[in-house]
Amino acid sequence: MSAAGSAGMQGPLAGIKVVDLSAVVSGPMCAGLLADQGAQVVKVESQQGDLTRIIGPAKGDISALFAAINRGKRGIVLDLKQPSALAVLRALLADADVLIENFRPGAMARLGLSYDEVAAFNPRIVYLSISGFGQTGPYAAGRVYDPVIQAVAGMADAHPDPKSGEPQLLQTLMCDKLTALTAAQAVTAALLARERQGAGSGRGQKIELAMLDAAVNFLWPEACFNHAFQDEPPPVAMEFGANQRLWRCADGWLALITPQNDEFAAMCRVFGRPEMGSDPRFASIPARRQHNQLIRDTLEPIAAQRGVDALMTELLAAGVPAGRVNTKAALASDPQVMHNALLHDTAYPGLGRLRTPRAAAQFIGLPWDADRRAPHLGEHSRELLVELGHDEAEIEALIASGAVR
């Protein structure tokens, strides 16, 4: 098996077969997480390829974004408008454990691949449908990308510009990625439920996941806590994070957070103002929130005279929760990132080395395989067709017709 398909050789999901029909980020990242945990994932793409192949820095058909969320998969290109390509897909699905799709609602049914239709020939399938807003409803038919969900889910309002108070979009694909995390957990839960019915005899099920639903669930606990109590009069608190700002030092920035009294007192000692730790104006979380600006006005000039490294050393020694603000360029040289062996370089033949983080969850005793690549467009089409039992003449005919690339 090629390096791109080396996933599934070890890991807790070894032996689980996933057919990834999804595109862009939410579905592919979900499938990528399953591949990281040992699943054998086949990525099915159109002739044009996944949009993320051309987003951001790229060499050939491999972009940094595509590589990070599609590593360890094998790739095949199918023109699903052609019956012969649909037949190949059905063959892939016949013994698959998981199907992942994020087409617009109704698209799979138009292909003859609704959950009921797939479950008719593979009742064990766990069928994940990711949508933007849901399978039905006033917004369901619209095209959706991450910024749209950020807006509708309240994410932009929850991260306002600190000066103007105007809503802001996060400059990351937050909603896509948290949907992927939610999806991967739901798939593994469904696989567990299937196995509990009886190994080899359990039925799968359909999972529907809307990005809107995932985003609101993610945002709600603290960002929307002032909208939880529904009976009058509801208790109201300062918006969570309203006072959270970084601290400027002489040569960089720090994050500090001291919710507990002993932490606040320790911070004051490090800053040379121990008397603030016993000041009644700062004796509790509500009191410190009320007088936050006074705290900042007093301590910010002191921080501005200190170097980040020296101040960090003192704060950590005193038990104060603190962290250096790493630039993206400097992240790889952070001592803890290096200690965790978090970032790995993968060699792509003809393209050079490409850096990605290893899977966040480590299964002790199972070493991380840094050689797992993302597939080139259609890289494993022939290999997969051979595994499905096609002879060379049949493969050449599928390629000549454009059904397979």
CB 322 within 8 A of CB 316: yes
Exactly one of 176, 279, 297, 309 is catalytic; name it.
Answer: 176
Within 85-152, strands assigned E span 98-101, 126-131
Q: What are phi and psi of 17, to 5 degrees?
A: -105, 130
Q: Other CB atoms closer than 10 Å to residue 44's CB: what's the count?
A: 26
What per-residue string of b and e applies to 57-93 under the rule 16 or more CB within 10 Å gives b?
Answer: ebeebbbbbbbbbbbbbbbbbbbbeeeebbebbbbbb
Query: CA neighbours within 13 Å on the CB side: how many for 65?
Result: 17
Listed in sequence order, the residues at least 6 apart from 394 whose beta carbon sits closer than 8 Å to its beta carbon are: 385
Q: What are phi and psi of 129, to 5 degrees?
A: -110, 115
Q: Of how many residues is the chain composed?
A: 405
Q: Other CB atoms closer than 10 Å to residue 346's CB: what's the count?
A: 19
Nearest by Cα to 362 from 117, 139, 38, 98: 38
Structure tokens at 62: 């491999």
Structure tokens at 200: 């080899």
The yes-or-no answer on residue 176 being catalytic is yes
Catalytic residue positions, numbered: 176
